[in-house]
Amino acid sequence: MSDTLRLLEDLLARASVTPDDAGCQALIAGRLAPLGFEATALPFGPDTFRVLNLWATRSGPRPGPTVVFAGHTDVVPTGPLAHWTSDPFVPSYRDGKLFARGAADMKTSLAAMVVAAEEFVQAHPGHAGRIAFLLTSDEEGPSVDGTVRVVEWLQQQGERLDCCIVGEPTSVSRLGDTIKNGRRGSLSGRLTVTGVQGHVAYPQLAKNPVHLAAPALAELATATWDEGNAYFPPTTFQISNLHAGTGATNVIPGELVVDFNFRFSTASTPEDLKARVARILDRQQLQWRIDWTLGGSPFLTPEGSLVAALRQAIQAETGVVTELSTTGGTSDGRFIARICEQVVEFGPVNATIHKIDEHVAVDAVEPLKNIYRRTLEALLT
């Protein structure tokens, strides 16, 4: 069994359901310490939801860029245990696959990153620049005391990073086919439309906010918000929940509450989207208010030294010509991009993430480690 698989099994056996780290970061810090990494533990949040974070760095004797491996040690809950073929926290092998919660998202990437760093430092102890690890146990949770807090701390230290690989599972059909070089932003709103409650038999004495808001909601749902650009698809608008009424069938509701979300590209800004929504609602002469939540701004890494190094490493190791993509949800890359010029995501196939019987192909583990190591070689030697 390879060093990567042994470390991966150890990580998978730890039930690190968010925000519980279950000792994963301590294990990784212990592996990095003999290489000369200096580790700083950064716990944040209340005792009832304590989030563990780790920042670890190793500087070479020659100047060069800071290359960061970033990821999360927490995993999502398992769901019904009876639906799993094997215990989700007992790594199990079947048909060339390794099954466990977190196998794809994202402990395989973490194990591969650590062993890649070990092999690289052993082969190149006098490397240029700096290698860093940024880990959190709050990526699958609220994401308020994890990477975002570490980035704030790094800003206070005056840190600027050059390149970052986030180990999210980005591959679609086979290892290496997709790199995420950006992500869309997420802007959520809770719209409240006020009417006048009344009896359904006397609608002239009431104002039904559902009826009043319907034309505006139809316009919001069919609007073209932007055309996207070379890297991003067009911005999308989706209603996720509608709430109205008392539960009785003979009462006109006095209030309608609509939850909605924008997944937006760099072709739009939160301010522009908010203003357009307001104009549509005002045009319908509604009595309304919106509580906005900006979940994350979009980020984009154009083709440069990091994308080139990772692409070359993938092709050399697997023969795959990779594609760049910005699809999917948000990730912690949105926080790291505030202090890092180049941020990409790359990891194993994502087909089973968050699912029952989550797994990773065993024969992809060593190639993933080698890709990470080759990328370090390209950037720091």
Q: Which residues are annotated as a binding site for Zn(2+)?
A: 72, 105, 140, 168, 354
DSSP 230-299: SSSPPPEEEEEEEEES-S-TTEE-SEEEEEEEEEE-TTS-HHHHHHHHHHHHHHTT--EEEEEEEEE--E
The three-point CA angle 75-83-173 to 5° equals: 60
Give the per-residue SS3 of 116-130.
Answer: HHHHHHHHCCCCEEE
Query: In the numeric block, which tokens belong to residue 215?
Result: 């034309």
Phi and psi angles of residue 353, each rounded to the nearest 5 degrees, phi first: -65, 140
Rounded to 5°, angle at Cα 344 from 114 and 356: 70
Amino acid at 295: G
Active-site residue, from 21, 74, 317, 358: 74
Active site residue 74: yes
Whether the Cβ atoms of residue 237 and residue 258 lie closer than 8 Å to each other: no
Query: Measuring CA to CA, how many Å separate 266 from each of 2, 32, 138, 283?
Result: 42, 37, 26, 27
> Is 358 a known active-site residue?
no
Which residues, including other chains, have CB under 8 Å from residue 262's CB and lie 6 or more apart?
185, 186, 187, 188, 189, 225, 235, 236, 237, 268, 273
- 55 φψ region: left (φ > 0), alpha (ψ -120 to 50), beta (else): beta
> Which one from 119, 138, 139, 317 is the annotated catalytic residue?
139
CB 262 within 8 A of CB 184: no
At 164, give phi and psi (nearest 5°): -140, 130
Neighbours of 190 (CB within 10 A): 15
Tokens (6 digits) for 21? 């780290």
Residues noted as catalytic? 74, 139
